Structure 1
Amino acid sequence: MLRLGALGRFFGLMLGASMVPVWAQSGIYTCTDSRGRKITSDRPIIECIDREQKELNPSGTIRRTVDPSFTAHEQAEREELAKQRAAEEARVREERRRDRALLVRYPTIEVHVKERAEAIAQIDAVIAAAKKRTDELNQQKGQIDAEYEFYKKDPTKAPNSLKRQRDDNDRSRVIQAKFISDQDGEKARVNARFDEELVKLKELWGAQAAARAAAAAPAKK
């Protein structure tokens, strides 16, 4: 059923057409309705209010194209669909751009394997340094604990400097443990990223190889 807003615009179009002098009303309207019927009339066609109509000159050439009439709600829906299409097109373009960049960065699997190894080696070096510092702190803790043996019967008599050393050592060991844990997490994230890239790269490398084979095929004949 036609909405009142669309009908109003349609009848406005017909009224405007009726006010044109008779000698100028020689155009013919034509369209194909929703059931596939081709309709021709000497005035705007109500069955085609929701679709494009063409006004023809007496010679049969197109004088103008009459756009569909839409309500505010219909127009909003069309605009929303257009936004969705634009967003999808932008997503596809961005994905293709990333694919091209990935192929430029990793033309072969050897390059990808090498970069992964380098990235992991850097993290391992940082973890190794942190573990070395942790070993030093553990040794320091052993020395502090040994000094505390003198005050085992009454720890309150331990000098403040020794208490501060113990507290600082405890905080430092906690910090180092958290840092090592964070680096282990970063190592897992880096490996996951390279794994994800490798899945995509295998697909892209395969497509490249197929394209080269297809391009080289005529030359073999």
Structure 2
Amino acid sequence: MPRPRRLVSGRWLLAAGSVLAGAAMAQQQGVRSADGIYSCVDDSGRRITSDRPIPECIAREQRVLNRDGSLRKVVPPTPTADERAEIEARERRAVEARAAQADAVRRDRNLIARYPNEEAHRRAREAALDTVRVAIRSSEQRLKMLGAERKPLADETEFYVGKPLPPKLHQALDANDAATDAQRTAMANQEAELVRINRLYDAELDRLRRLWAGARPGSLGPIATLPEPASAASR
């Protein structure tokens, strides 16, 4: 009597499934063996080997061996939270340092492009100084005008020696004094700005001379400037 086709087909499928499952297992074992053999000594001094990373040695160095016992690589201990934080901070500092170096290179290249020679730098300095010099001359003229406006007011006060000044005259004198003080402060700031501009251009010129002589952009560090001059108040 011939076998039922349904039964033969079922047995064939079962056999085929077994073959495929065995192939998959063999493939998985091959992948694991390709990873090497992990070996370490745990806290109690016991040597452990495995075909995958060993959890008991997560805080210890693990050696990965080839099938013939030769060393393939060494897996360092997994860092603690504090160690990871320090590693991340170190990496951030390294990134910041690389960015700062790139900025220094870019600034030096821009400086050379802006000032190809000393004459170009001198012209730029004079243009910057002239702007402030114009403001100083304007303040000087304003001070002269305020002085001229004050003279008749001062003359008028002679009529009130030993007497209170009229409110209008008093207010005019106060306004003149305030405007004069403001202009003198402005002139002091403008003169300080002249000093600052010259210091900046002196430092730039020193750097440019070294760059023109062949120094590599970004190799000179930050622009060094002279110490700030003492203010009139501190003197």
TM-score range, shorter chain: 0.5 to 0.7
Tell me whether 1:187 sits opposite 2:194 in the alignment.
Answer: yes
Tell me whether 1:75 sits opposite 2:84 in the alignment.
Answer: yes
1:69, distance to aligned residue in structure 2 (A): 2.5
Distance change >3 Å, CA 55–CA 114, structure 1 → 2:
farther
Alignment correspondent of 1:173: 180
Distance change >3 Å, CA 133–CA 69, structure 1 → 2:
same
Structure richer in helix, relative to its length: 1
Unaligned runs of 5+ in 1: 1-19, 31-40, 210-221
Determine which of 149, 158, 170 is the counterpart of 1:163. Answer: 170
Alignment correspondent of 1:131: 140
CA distance in 2, matches of 1:80, 1:21: 40
Distance change >3 Å, CA 54–CA 183, structure 1 → 2:
farther
CA distance in 2, matches of 1:127, 1:72: 61
Alignment correspondent of 1:217: none
Q: Which amino acid aligns with 1:106?
A: Y
CA distance in 1, matches of 2:30, 2:124: 79
Number of residue-to-residue matches in the alignment: 175
CA distance in 2, matches of 1:83, 1:95: 18
Tell me whether 1:99 sits opposite 2:104 in the alignment.
Answer: no
Alignment correspondent of 2:231: none
Q: TM-score, normalised by structure 2?
A: 0.62
Alignment correspondent of 1:108: 117
Please list, as runs of the form range in 1=range in 2, the aligned pairs for 1:9-24 lying within 5 A after superposition.
none
Alignment correspondent of 1:89: 98
In the TM superposition, what whole-angstrom CA distance separates every residue of 1:190-220 from its partner, at most 9, and x where no partner exists? 11111121121112111179xxxxxxxxxxx
Question: Higher Cα Rg: structure 1 or 2?
Answer: 2
Alignment correspondent of 2:130: 121
Identity %: 28
CA distance in 1, matches of 2:203, 2:84: 42
Q: TM-score, normalised by structure 1?
A: 0.66
Determine which of 194, 204, 212 is the counterpart of 1:197. Answer: 204
